Each structure stands twice: as structure tokens, then as C-alpha cells.
Amino acid sequence: MKPRIAIRADASIQIGTGHVLRCLLLAEMLQSSGLDVEFLCRVYPGDLINWIRSKGFKVHKLLAPLTPFDSDIHHSHDSLNCTANRVTQSQDAQESINALKEKTLEWLIVDCYGLDRAWEKQLRSIAKNIFVIDDLANRKHDCNLLLDQNFYCDAHSRYEGLVSGSTKQLLGPRYALLRKEFLTSRQSLKPKSNNIMRIFVFFGGTDPDNVTGRVLDALATPNLQHLQTDVVIGLNNPNRRSIEEKVAERKLTTLHVQVDNIAELMSAADLALGAGGTATWERLCLGLPSLIITTAENQQGSIDDLHNEGLVIKLGSAPSIRVETIHQAITKSIEYSDVAQRKAMRGMELVTGGGAALVLRQLLNRVYC
């Protein structure tokens, strides 16, 4: 019988897709290494359950919460994930144990902001090892392995008192969970000229604040009409229709929906506009100059530190960013393109693209050693 792995992660229009997508990457690597991988996902609008199943994985559905998401609070840490104010951790833990039929797991992978040590302790009854993926450092964990792939100047002290001394911590973008295509694209990158002629726009799978629409409004101005533009959105983007209309009105603009060739699109671009999630590490890995607009509260600290270190340019946050600010930033980036390129080259040193392999090695060592 194959060693058994379970992954607890959620997606929704409010949560976004990042948690599930990075766990799906790990799942594919673990499956290729001979392990049996299954998911535990709570039912929400935009939950990606069918998408996970289309990739060949079993998904245990956890019942939808009685209280729907409040779209006005989706930026707060407490509401970013599965259990806050809707399902208690104890209820979620028991549902998970029941779904897994109390069979022993070699690893339980948890990527869920609403869960902490209380939930993890309850799952110890069936999990030999627990791997937590976190970036908030705002609650205690009972885990064997912890990953925080974000960049923080105080990274090595953030989890003091939150995990035990025996917990192995994988900290920083060195461990960023990037698909193999990014490492492949990085190795075949062609030297870029200092002229910015092609723009890449991507604000995550859902982009509930429709920052994408505001970027397209900025690009519609006469002095930016010459820029070839690739716009990427997720399948569950609630503003898809209006984005399609804006793309249709602008020449040299292509819309890509739920694509698997993001590395290829990034490699072809000279400048990116995007959010502060996982795509940050993808852009840095490929040396792509970036203008970042944070789309969730948990992105602020890491992006502030990257900005202060001169690795990216932060424009502001999604709820308040203005079209004029975006337009001015793009115009300035074109004018000082050599400066933007130097920042991006420094970013390549920070993110090498091999993080997923390093994480996989840690997981397999516990299974086979």
C-alpha cells in the first residue's frame, strides 16, 4: 500500500486560489514520488474542487458553512480562510477525521489560515507528521515542519514561541513553491533590452477588487497604447465580462483565462503588474520587473520589505489604488527601464526556482528514512 498524504486547503472567490494551487503543485510531486495524495476542501463558491479532481486527485468535500462570506471583510486575516466565524476548529477537525476514515497518514499538509495548534493536535490521532504552510506568524502550531516562503527582514525570529524547538522551519523565498516550468524558463531566458514593450498583468485567480480593470483603464491612455499586453485571470474571476470588454476595446491586448503557461508569458514580458502573492516569487525567479498592488492584508509586510530592499516597486493596496497612480508608475518604469531591470536582476538571486524540490525532499525524508 502506498504511503498516504492528505492536504487540507481551501479556495473561494474571497479566499483566492493561491492556497490550493501551491498545494496542488506539492500533490503532483508527491504523487510522482509514489505516494497516495488526497485533498480535504470546504465547499465554497469558486472552491476549485472540480479543478483538483480534473488533475486526478480524490477530494473529500467538507460541508459548506451556514454563514456565507462577508465580502466586506475578506481582507482580514481571520476571514481569509475556512473556519473563522463559521465552523469551529473542532468541528472542522472531526469532519476531516471522519472523511479520512481515521486511516493513518504519513503526512498531513495544512494550508489554512483559520486553523492552528488546536486543530493540529486533534489530527495527531491519525497523522504521523504535520506540515504547516503559513505566512502570518500570528498563531501557534503543533507541526513537524513549517514553511513560510515569504521575504521578511526578521524571518528567522517570526515564529519564536509559535512552534516547538523541534519544528523544522523552512523560511524565505529559497523555498518558494514554484512549478518546474519556472525553473525551465529561467534556464532558457534571453537577455532583455532596456525597452519596455510588453506588459504582463495578473492579480490572482479571483481579483475581487478588480485591480485588473483599473490597470486596463490606465493602459488605455494614448501614451501607453503601443504596449503589447497579456492579461491573465482565473476561471472564477467575478469581473470576467467587464475585463473581456476592456480587452476587446484595446489593441495589442490578449486575455488568458486559467492558463498553464504563465512562465512563458512572464518570460516574454518586460514589465509586470500584479499582486503580492505567490506570483511575486514567480516574477522574481524570472527577473521580471514588477509593480505590485497588494490584494490582501497578509501580503503587506513581505511586499513592504521587498520594496524597502529595492527588489520590487509597491504602488499601494487594491481597495484604494487609483488609475492615475498606475498610469504614472507604468510611464515612469518605461522612462527609467534600466533601473527596473537592475532591481529584477537582484530579485533573481533571491528566488532560484528550486524551492519545491527542497520542500519535497524534506517530506520524503520522513516517509522513506
Question: For the chain, which residues make up each domain, given as ranges?
Answer: 4-178+354-368, 180-350
Is 60 exceeded by the pLDDT of residue 292?
A: yes
- The C-alpha atoms of residue 181 and residue 282 are separated, in whole angstroms, by 10
Q: Which residues contact 286 (CB under 8 A, 6 or more apart)?
A: 182, 185, 186, 189, 263, 266, 267, 348
Task: Decide whether 4-178+354-368 matches 180-350 in CATH topology.
Answer: yes
Q: What is the pLDDT of residues 58-113, one digit of tens each?
A: 999 998 875 544 333 333 444 334 444 478 999 999 999 999 998 899 999 999 99
- Write down the mean pLDDT value for the chain: 92
pLDDT of residue 76: 40
Read off the pLDDT of each residue in 307-328 and give the average, rounded to a whole number: 96
Find out whether 327 and 224 touch, Cβ atoms under 8 Å: yes
Q: Whole-model pTM above 0.85?
A: yes
The answer for residues whose C-beta is within 8 angstroms of residue 157's C-beta and 6 or more apart is: none
- The yes or no reply on domain 180-350 and CATH 3.90.1170.10 is no
Q: What is the mean pLDDT of residues 197-216?
A: 96
Burial 284-306 (b: 16+ CB within 10 A, else e): bbbbbbbbbbbbbebbebbbbbb
Three cell numbers at 334?
A: 518605461
What's the pLDDT tens digit per position in 17-60? 899 999 999 999 999 999 999 999 999 998 999 999 999 999 99
Interval 200-222 mean pLDDT: 96
Quick check: 16 and 81 in contact, CB under 8 A? no
The pLDDT value given to residue 79: 37
Q: Grid coordinates standing for 361?
A: 525532499
Among the residues of 124-278, which ranges form H helices? 180-187, 211-219, 240-249, 262-268
For the domain 4-178+354-368, what is the CATH code? 3.40.50.11190
Q: How confident is residue 16, by pLDDT bands cut at 50, 70 and 90?
A: confident
Grid cell in block for residue 220: 488605455
SS3 call for 348: helix
